[in-house]
Amino acid sequence: MARLKLVLPATFSFSTTITVLISNINYGGHVGNDSILSFIHEARLRYFQFLGADELNFFGTSVIMGDVVISYKAESFHGDELTLAVTADEFTTYGFDLYYRITKQQAGEQKLVAEAKTGMVCFNYTTRKVEPVPEVFKLKTREAKI
């Protein structure tokens, strides 16, 4: 089976920390894949808030997720403090990609837990049609590189 290869950008615009709760643990005793997707969703929400928007009030439009890729690199456990770095890249007329790097502290070092990408599409929920990516969002993402 061919493995997905995800190449992350060199720099990120934002980072946030999420604590692993007991409800995030699956029968294998580690964070479940569904929880990683939920962490990504929360990080995206926080990133948009950092930029002054949210998914329904996205600089004059809204956004919807078109696809997601997650590459798991290490286990994570109850109580772990995960750092999720987020950045936007790969802009098209109607969408963009958000990239995520999830790490945790382990033995004094940052350990990579997962990498991910969500393909986001600007979408008008009233007309049910795609809309162009707002220029103000592109400008804010360029200004916010860390």
Asked, for residue 88, whether it belongs to a domain, the answer is yes
Distance of CA 142 to the CA centre of its chain: 17
**How many domains are there within the chain?**
1
Judged by DSSP in three states, 41 sits in helix
Residue carrying structure tokens 């009233």: 126
Does 102 fall in a domain?
yes
Amino acid at residue number 72 = Y
95 within some domain: yes
The span from the CA of 55 to the CA of 92, in Å, is: 18
Mean pLDDT across 104-121? 95
Give the CATH number, domain containing residue 78: 3.10.129.10
Does residue 8 lie in a domain region?
no
* SS3 category, 110: strand
Output the CA torsion 5→98→14→23 (10° steps): -80
Inside any domain, residue 6:
no
Q: Does 5 reside within a domain? A: no
Check: CB of residue 48 under 8 Å from CB of residue 55: yes
- How do residues 3-36 score in pLDDT, each as one tens digit? 888 999 999 999 999 999 999 999 999 999 999 9
Q: Is the pLDDT of residue 104 over 80?
A: yes
CA distance 48 to 140: 10
* Domain carrying residue 42: 14-143
